[in-house]
Amino acid sequence: MQDLEAKTAKQAAIIYTGISLALALIFLLITFFNGKSYTAVARIGGTIWVFILSMIITMPIVIPYVKKRVMG
């Protein structure tokens, strides 16, 4: 049973980290292509902020979903 829980936790972590990285990358790309000028500090700080907030939001959503899917 512990093995299955570890597998579930690993899958969930991969999913919510991937989502957060994708959202952070989208944010970074928007700062380059929206026509406005941003400093490097604003871009990097904003990207980190989006990543952290995305992790906070997606963790409680993804974990139960994966647990339900894997454990049945």
| Segment 29-44, tens digit of pLDDT | 999 999 899 999 999 9
17-32 pLDDT per residue, tens: 999 999 999 999 999 9
End-to-end CA distance of the chain: 13
Encoded tokens for 9: 């936790």
C-alpha pair distances (Å), 59 with each of 9, 27, 50, 53, 64: 11, 19, 14, 10, 9
